[in-house]
Structure 1
Amino acid sequence: MNQKQAIKKLLIGLFSLTLIFGQILVAGDHLLSGQAQNAGFDLEKLQRVDAVIQQHISDGKIPGATLLIARKGYIAYRKAYGNAQLTPTVEKMTEDKIFDMASCTKPVATASSVMLLVEEGKIRLADPVKLYIPEYTDFIDSVGKKDEPIRVYHLLTHTSGLPPYTNANALKEKFGSPCPDQLVQTIATIKKQNPPGKVFDYSCLGFITLAEIVHRISGKTIDEFSQERIFTPLGMKSTLFCPPEKFQPRIAPTEVINGKPLRGFVHDPLAQLMDGKSGNAGLFSTIDDLAIFCQMLLNGGTYGGTRIFSPLTVQAMTSVYSDLAFAGRGLGWDVNSAYNSNLGDLFPEGTFGHTGFTGTSICVDPKTETIVILLTNAVHIPNSSAIRLRSLVANIVAASIVKY
């Protein structure tokens, strides 16, 4: 072999190594399409999800669903089931359907926005809510004694003492709809049920408050802030509040009211009073966009060369908040609370996620690098539920992992 041939062979070898390592880097940062076996799944076991979801459709518990399962940076399973709409006409479900995420808005949009402000030194988790909303009242006991102030971390972990909800119809009758300012003021002065930091009580009011804090600090509403700082940078093109007309054909409708399905406007009554731009609900998204968001978290806050959070911020958000361990909550995310049945029975400690009342679910396990996103519009069928289905799917996925 002459010198020229040797150099050529060396260059070809280096080029091949560059391609190999380039693919590894891409696989570690971007989600790639791949076979289930490549992601360490037993495909035959994984396919059991099909029968379970189809059974729930046949039983009339959900009209349809979309499912995405990813692991170690590879999309191993992506599928649509059943129908997106049953009334007044039947409409097939497709993989790109956009869903009303309901309470999944809380971690994906609201808590994420708050934590960006924490990173920037504009909020402390221990700051009293009164620092940003002076009219916010404290818990007062039976003898008229005030307790310690409600702090930002109380809101994020549902330990603020705020009631879970308030009467949306009464507010609508009194102020009309939308009435965002009046709702915020109602929450600020509402009677607190428990002293802060003592009781876990899941509260939509706390996350409406968090969105108001984001608004008062940044000058942007929660939809504007999360879109500019999170969703657009990540390329989540179908994730937004108040979807405009061009998105309507892709949206899975929710509740049927007087024979007409609600499509593209938030289902939650309090979020409706906030004109669809609320901290507790209002976000619309797809399995593909949410997979990007979840992979960003698994990557330690970065995706596709764009950093959203520091690794330590991700760890803080997705771990049980130590000062309030009894709640089993991270900063926005559910880790080990009474609401975490969507995480199943088999995924290890440290798995986190969230659910939405409309029938949506996110489950992420950092240890096995697994993402399970199951989106349904269960509320399209009266008195239906996806609660048990979420757990069954999570168990099947966990049991299908055969390679670490």
Structure 2
Amino acid sequence: MPSPEGPGDRGGGRELSAPRLRHDTPERAGLDPGELRRLVVEFHALTTGERPWAPGAVLVAGRGPVIAVEEAAGWAVRYASYDPDADAGVELPPDARVPVTVDTPFDLASLTKLFTAVAAVQQIERGTLGMDARVGAFLPEFRAVVEHGVTVRELLTHTSGLRPELPLYDCVDAEERLAMLRAEAPVGAPGTYTYSDLNPLLLQHVLERVTGRTLDDLVHHGITRPLGMTATRFGPCPDAAATEDQRRPWAKVDRGMVRGVVHDENAWALGGVAGHAGLFSTGGDLAVFCRALLAGGSYGPARILGPDFVELLLTPPGLGFALDQPWFMGELAGRGAAGHTGFTGTSLVLDRATDTFLVLLANTVHPRRRGVDSGPRAGAGTRVARAVRGVRGA
């Protein structure tokens, strides 16, 4: 029987080597320096003013093996709490605030889904999981999805018909949460796209059943350890940027100011390790993740996927990855760009057509969640696209 371990765990065999990332000039990266200067100016403006887009943020952008931009701005921790009467954050004294650095970890939120998707495709590569296998073949006790014939492909493409989420955070214990998941039936027609946190949650159960290992173990041994992503892990992560003063009615649970523990209420209720949320990481680590996928699954001597399986992962409609979405990719979209966003203010884009990548991490939910504004994400993507083309001007 094939080992459940990911490609990064293998010893011997064919060794592939892809260039590691290095810091260098925009010109060496084949990027227009003027556009990148504008990108940096616009990035720093995101964390200024009384109501900034985010208190703190990190930006990493590059092309090929070159990081041409790596910037940090603002505060990892700026507020002690949120005052609902004033509709404003309660500022910490300046000497109590924590500045963002390029090494600050952020709560990735839904970027975690990308790692779950890669872990699943690793098992498909190894032959322990089939794309069109029925979930019920691995999880017969999940009776509702068994009756509807939900497949692994449908989980990866958000076409299972499952609703966006369940109130697992309201359950009294783990047994009740598991019972709720097992009883949840699709509400939409199979094949219809509905973005749902339940898809990667069920996929997590499939992976853990198939391999006999927990999701955090699979991600560590199959992805982050072989790639040298030492700052990427499931929480707790005490030095991470703060997120929300989490209280009802604007939040779903009452937890106070959250820092170093996953922001997502369901992931928190599940112990911090979930298929849809829970990972923390830095801009530099995510640049490595992007670079490995752009290089066909390899980074240095490590290989996490073969090129054909990276192609499978990123072929429309994308397995876990969103493809060509202008609302957060800007002008990088439209040529096969792939990526995702996270509720806490995170995003990444990798553009195979131009061999470029863009990581934007922020704590936009600090001190409390508000309506999503992806204009800055799209604007950054547009600047990078124009830097590739050498187009000047706004």
Question: Residue 139 of structure 1: CA displacement?
Answer: 6.9
Match of 1:70 among 56, 59, 62: 62
Task: Name 2:83's counterpart in structure 1.
Answer: none
| Contact kept in structure 1, 2:59 and 2:70, CA below 8 Å | yes
Give 2:159's aligned amino acid: T
Q: How does 1:258-269 map to 2 (within 5 A)?
A: 261-269=257-265
Task: Name 1:162's counterpart in structure 2.
Answer: 162
Asked if 1:356 corresponds to 2:342, the answer is yes
Give the fraction of aligned pairs with identical amino acids, expressed as a percent.
Answer: 34
Q: How does 1:108-187 map to 2 (within 5 A)?
A: 109-138=115-144, 149-171=149-171, 175-176=172-173, 179=174, 181-187=175-181
Q: How does 1:298-377 map to 2 (within 5 A)?
A: 298-320=294-316, 329-336=317-324, 341-377=327-363
| Contact kept in structure 1, 2:340 and 2:347, CA below 8 Å | yes
Question: Residue 168 of structure 1: CA displacement?
Answer: 3.1
Q: Are residues 223 and 331 of structure 1, via their aligned partners in 2, closer, same or farther at CA, if it must alter by over 3 Å? A: same
Q: Distance in 1 between matches of 2:377 and 2:209?
A: 36
Task: Name 1:42's counterpart in structure 2.
Answer: 32
| Contact kept in structure 2, 1:348 and 1:367, CA below 8 Å | no
Specify which structure has the higher proportion of helix: 1
Q: Distance in 1 between matches of 2:286 and 2:181?
A: 30
Q: Which digits, 9 at most, give the CA deviation of each residue in 1:58-107, with x for residues without a partner?
A: 24221011000010110000000111111123221111000110000001
Match of 1:387 among 364, 374, 380: 374
Give 1:311's aligned amino acid: P
Aligned length: 351
| Contact kept in structure 2, 1:138 and 1:150, CA below 8 Å | no
Task: Name 1:21's counterpart in structure 2.
Answer: none
RMSD: 2.2
| Contact kept in structure 1, 2:110 and 2:276, CA below 8 Å | yes
Q: Distance in 1 between matches of 2:374 and 2:289?
A: 23
Asked if 1:218 corresponds to 2:211, the answer is yes
| Contact kept in structure 1, 2:246 and 2:368, CA below 8 Å | no
Q: Distance in 1 between matches of 2:207 and 2:269?
A: 18
Task: Name 1:326's counterpart in structure 2.
Answer: none
Q: Distance in 1 between matches of 2:167 and 2:366?
A: 23
Match of 1:235 among 225, 228, 231: 228
Q: Distance in 2 between matches of 1:224 and 1:362?
A: 23
Q: Which digits, 9 at most, give the CA deviation of each residue in 1:237-268, with x for residues without a partner?
A: 0000123xxx523x111112479531111111
| Contact kept in structure 2, 1:139 and 1:195, CA below 8 Å | no
| Contact kept in structure 2, 1:238 and 1:286, CA below 8 Å | yes
| Contact kept in structure 1, 2:162 and 2:198, CA below 8 Å | yes
Q: Are residues 184 and 206 of structure 1, via their aligned partners in 2, closer, same or farther at CA, if it must alter by over 3 Å? A: farther
Q: Distance in 1 between matches of 2:312 and 2:176?
A: 33
Match of 2:46 among 56, 62, 70: 56
Q: Which digits, 9 at most, give the CA deviation of each residue in 1:1-20, with x for residues without a partner?
A: xxxxxxxxxxxxxxxxxxxx
Q: Are residues 334 and 184 of structure 1, via their aligned partners in 2, closer, same or farther at CA, if it must alter by over 3 Å? A: farther
Q: Distance in 2 between matches of 1:226 and 1:248?
A: 20
Task: Name 2:89's counterpart in structure 1.
Answer: none
Q: Distance in 2 between matches of 1:218 and 1:347?
A: 35
Task: Name 1:270's counterpart in structure 2.
Answer: 266
| Contact kept in structure 2, 1:139 and 1:161, CA below 8 Å | no
Q: Distance in 2 between matches of 1:248 and 1:95?
A: 16
Question: Residue 228 of structure 1: CA displacement?
Answer: 1.2
Question: Residue 157 of structure 1: CA displacement?
Answer: 0.4
Greater radius of gyration (CA): 1
Q: Distance in 2 between matches of 1:185 and 1:319?
A: 34
Question: Residue 346 of structure 1: CA displacement?
Answer: 4.3
| Contact kept in structure 2, 1:60 and 1:381, CA below 8 Å | no
Q: Distance in 2 between matches of 1:348 and 1:39?
A: 22
Asked if 1:93 corresponds to 2:100, the answer is yes
Q: Which moved more, 1:300-309 or 1:161-170?
A: 161-170
| Paired residue secondary structure (2:160) | coil
| Paired residue secondary structure (2:46) | helix
Question: Structure 2: where are the runs of 5+ without partners?
Answer: 1-15, 81-91, 248-254
| Paired residue secondary structure (2:376) | helix
Match of 2:198 among 205, 209, 214: 205
Question: Residue 336 of structure 1: CA displacement?
Answer: 4.0
Match of 1:253 among 242, 258, 261: 242
Question: Structure 1: where are the runs of 5+ without partners?
Answer: 1-24, 141-145, 321-328
Q: Distance in 1 between matches of 2:30 and 2:340?
A: 25
| Contact kept in structure 1, 2:62 and 2:357, CA below 8 Å | yes
Q: Which moved more, 1:376-385 or 1:357-366?
A: 376-385
Question: Residue 137 of structure 1: CA displacement?
Answer: 3.6
Q: Distance in 2 between matches of 1:151 and 1:195?
A: 13
Asked if 1:104 corresponds to 2:100, the answer is no
Q: Distance in 2 between matches of 1:77 and 1:307?
A: 26
TM-score (norm 1): 0.82
Q: Which digits, 9 at most, give the CA deviation of each residue in 1:270-326, with x for residues without a partner?
A: 101210010010011111111111111011011111111010110111121xxxxxx
Asked if 1:193 corresponds to 2:187, the answer is yes
Give 1:38's aligned amino acid: R
